[in-house]
Chain A
Amino acid sequence: MTDQRTEGAPVTGEVVRAPALEMRGITKHFPGVRANDGIDLEVRPGEIHALLGENGAGKSTLMNILYGLLAPDSGEVLLDGQVVGISGPSDAIARGIGMVHQHFMLVPVFTVAENIVLGNETMANPIFLDAHKADDRIRELARQLGFEIDPSAIVGDLSVGIQQRIEILKALYRGAKVLILDEPTAVLTPQETVEIFEVLKRLAAEGTSIVFISHKLYEVLEIADRITVIRRGKVVGQADPTTATEEDLAEMMVGREVSLVVDKGVATPGDVVLRAENVSVADDRGSVVVDSIAFEVRAGEILGIAGVAGNGQAELVEALTGLRRVASGRITLDDEDITNHSPRSLTERNVAYIPGDRQRFGLVLPYPVEDNLVLTDYHKAPYSRNGVIDERAISRRAAQLIPEFDIRTPSGAVPTSTLSGGNQQKLIVAREFSRPLRLLIADQPTRGIDVGSIEFIHKQIVAKRDAGTAVLLVSAELDEVLELSDRIAVIYRGRIVATVDGATAEKERIGLIMATGEATGPRVEGAA
């Protein structure tokens, strides 16, 4: 798929046009960080150019400079060979730069057409909008990209994948020649990812230049014509997707050899630590989404729960961690009944929890890093004595944990919101792993973070297992479950439909059970 378009690209030396976009020597400092350090980036017309880097490498800063949200300390931006000063998003749009943010900027109660024309409305007369004038053009634009869209549909009713296309249409409607996509697949299902890639390829074939920001290696290899890798604010190199491998890219990104395969020995399971007996849990609307589930996790083993998102995993984890009431059944920890115990009571029994939604549950974003590092321990000595907080003890703790867990932050006093996603996750891991652990519940422990951090967190989880901690891993990434788990339980519509040995599990089989809930065949040890 890449070779088709590289023919027309200037690599062949036949057509040499000015790059659609060029950034030269972009440098941007933030207090304590050099976010961009002399970055050069060149995007040709009709090219899909991937910008690859770890979280915090400076990708977002660079794109915010391009979109006029930040001003560079030095360096220049050229569009079609002309130096331009971009003063803000509206200026960027006027110059033909479109941006699709990771979190969509759509008004859910407006129609597709209303969202697309927002800020660029056509008027029927000086007072009233012409709501439908744009409909035909929107349909036409969509058709060019190979899909149909109903301009009068309400955006809130549409799937995330469709909403993303609306964002793209919005940019094109305003005449975008350079389209920036910030981690566009982070919120998509695999099928939606395939579909959006088709759209992007058509768009590039029509002459639009695309900057594709990602840290997912296989995606970048699949979609990009060229890859620029940045690390710690600097361009470390270019890669050709036709020849580069995932390992090459990972090494460029992280700056050292990265093991994409989890290195772990055979588990030596001990006594049963966590036991769930016919546990049922209801969701917020009161319908039963975990339906008399039973399982055990032993000391020194990792039980992975595989399943398509939305099959009751989130509610199960919340019930196990004291955040949601168990409707019926019993949960025991080392044979002690802990059903409906409070989160505090579980923490005191050495249960640790890496929440799936780190910004919602795991962190208080405006707090300094060091306060978040004691978020589950703040009430105990030495951090609190007689009801008074000891700030120095908290700072000392942070000074110890930040290097130990490689949390990249200028200091322990900066707000946690300034850290990249990977470093926020490492902060949570540092906090939860630095106390005695009997049971670890890890819900999507590596969602949305870069390969370097993933490798680090996986190693830490395996190390905890080897030290005798019982680990319950819940993940929508089947690869992660397969790599880490000693046993795999497949959850389907709130029930565990199969339990499989991790060493011999086959990806396709598990995928099939996840999708259908049907478990048959010799590899299945037992079905609940």
Chain B
Amino acid sequence: MTTERGATGGGMSVDPTTLLGTGGGLGRQVLVTSIAVLGGLLVGALLIILSGALQPGGTLDFGLPLVAYRALLDGALLCEEGFQDVGILCEEGGVLDLRALGNTLNASTPLIMTGLAVAFGFRAGLFNIGAQGQFLLGAFASTLIGANLVGVPFPAAAAIAILAGALGGALWGFIPGALKAWRGAHEVVTTIMLNFVAALSLRYLANGPFRDPGATFSRTPDIQPGAVLPTPIDGSPMHWGIVVAILVAVAVWFLLFKTTLGFEIRTVGANPHAARYAGIRPRLITILTMTLAGSMAGIGGAAEGLGITKNYPAEYGTSYGFDGIAVALLGRAHPIGVVGAALLFGVMRAGAGSMQRQTDIPIDIITIVQGMILLFVAAEVVIRRLLPAARARRVSAAAAA
């Protein structure tokens, strides 16, 4: 029951609704988020200068951040001179590199989906930390089904495999939703635990019962050709996953803000007591929200599995599910914001390698920049509280003058 929230949470009295940034209109939210991103990049710039100076024979080079960020953009979006740029745009004197752009969009796709999974939970007052496990379930279920769809053509096979991924993620969302609704177990605790259960069980399954005997390293069998998400543009690695992700984001936006069910979900998130009074059943909404959120992360896993890995590797080192929490926060738990935040993180992820190659700045700096952006987003709550006082000081200074 939602009323037990906080009580059962014990020390984890996180109220996700305070993170939604309800203050101000759209313009203000975009402005504040942009300031946070700039702040993160500025702190990153300082670290890049320091990191450059600490390298053997390095000096304090204040131009280095610009070089590094330029290299980042080169790797993520832009045509690079003297580098093996592919794609028509660069040959025709364009600025966007199709190959790099494809990598960026492919990196953004799972982030959009896990970001949506976390954001959707936020709207119902639920802190879904379990996007990681839901993502893995989705990747596993979709690739396993995809490997068995012998002779089924595209797009039917791919659609079935994506559906399998959605169902796998949905199952991993339903469990914590049901535990919360019926037993009052706090979703933060159960989803964290289920992340471990998913990662370790799937590793066992990919190592044992479902291992592809012909593979050199432990993984499940490759998916059938019909289930592979194709790359529609010549010279670009971009697969159809990004289209699926954006369609799902639009669908989630419509569901949340235009439908009766969305009204119920948001009402439960904003005031579960009033929701009950209004005739909404908060337990049902909790289960439904977690299940749908899980399916979103599951589709993310399917997109990654069918578009990139083509199988489920036993040692699946990914953090898309955890990064989804950051994406949801930066995107203000709004589907459109989530897409924007995921694209930004996708740029950083795709361009970090290029930055390291060109400037010897470690990739980890980019992770720190991402962390700093989130810190600035969180600080916005603090800044907003300080604003009236700051304004009052200005007025009193004017009065004294």
Q: Could you tell me which A residues sit within 8 Å of B by CB distance?
A: 68-72, 76, 83, 85-88, 321, 323, 342-344, 347, 353, 355, 360-367, 371, 375-376, 378-379, 384, 387-389
Contact = CB atoms under 8 A, between A and B. Distances in A.
A370 to B, nearest CB: 12
B153 to A, nearest CB: 34
Interface of B: 22, 258-264, 267, 270-271, 273-281, 388-389, 391-397, 399-400
Contacts of A375: 267, 274, 277-278
Nearest to B17: A366
B278 A388 contact: no
A109 to B, nearest CB: 14
A361 B22 contact: no
Given A85-B395, A387-B259, A389-B258, A344 B279 contact: yes
Contacts of B400: 85
Given A387-B261, A389-B259, 18 more contacts: A68-B389, A69-B389, A71-B391, A71-B395, A85-B396, A85-B399, A87-B389, A323-B277, A343-B278, A343-B279, A361-B273, A363-B271, A364-B270, A376-B279, A378-B263, A379-B279, A384-B260, A388-B259
Contact of A71 (B261, B274, B392): B392
B277 A353 contact: yes
Contacts of B395: 71-72, 85
The majority secondary structure among interface residues of chain A is: loop
B334 to A, nearest CB: 14
Contacts of A72: 395
A476 B261 CA distance: 37
Nearest to A83: B399
Nearest to A91: B396
A318 to B, nearest CB: 10
Contacts, number: 93
Contacts of B277: 321, 323, 343, 353, 355, 361-362, 375-376
A367 B276 CA distance: 16
Contact of A87 (B259, B264, B267, B392): B392
Contacts of B394: 71
A68 B392 contact: yes
Across the A-B interface, give the 4 residue pairs with the lowest CB-CB distance, nearest first.
A85-B396, A344-B279, A71-B395, A71-B392
6 contacts: A343-B279, A353-B277, A367-B267, A375-B267, A375-B277, A376-B277
B388 A69 contact: yes
B392 A360 contact: no
A71 B112 CA distance: 42
A87 B274 contact: no
Contacts of B281: 342
Nearest to A64: B388
A343 B275 CA distance: 10
Contacts of B261: 387
Contacts of A384: 260, 263
A363 B274 contact: yes
> Which residue, of B259, B270, B277, has the highest number of chain A Cβ atoms within 10 A?
B277
Contact of A389 (B22, B260, B275): B260
A471 B82 CA distance: 83
From A72, A85, A323, name the one whose CB has the most chain B CB atoms within 10 angstroms.
A85
A68 B259 CA distance: 43
Contact of B388 (A70, A323, A363, A364): A70
Contact of B270 (A87, A321, A367): A367
B15 to A, nearest CB: 13
Contacts of A88: 389, 392-393
Contacts of B388: 69-71
A87 B275 CA distance: 40
B181 to A, nearest CB: 16
A430 B268 CA distance: 22
B281 to A, nearest CB: 8
A323 B276 contact: yes
Nearest to B389: A88
A245 B395 CA distance: 40
B389 A360 contact: no
Nearest to B262: A389
B105 to A, nearest CB: 31
Interface-centre pick from B22, B273, B392, B396 (highest chain A CB count, 10 A) = B392
A87 B271 contact: no
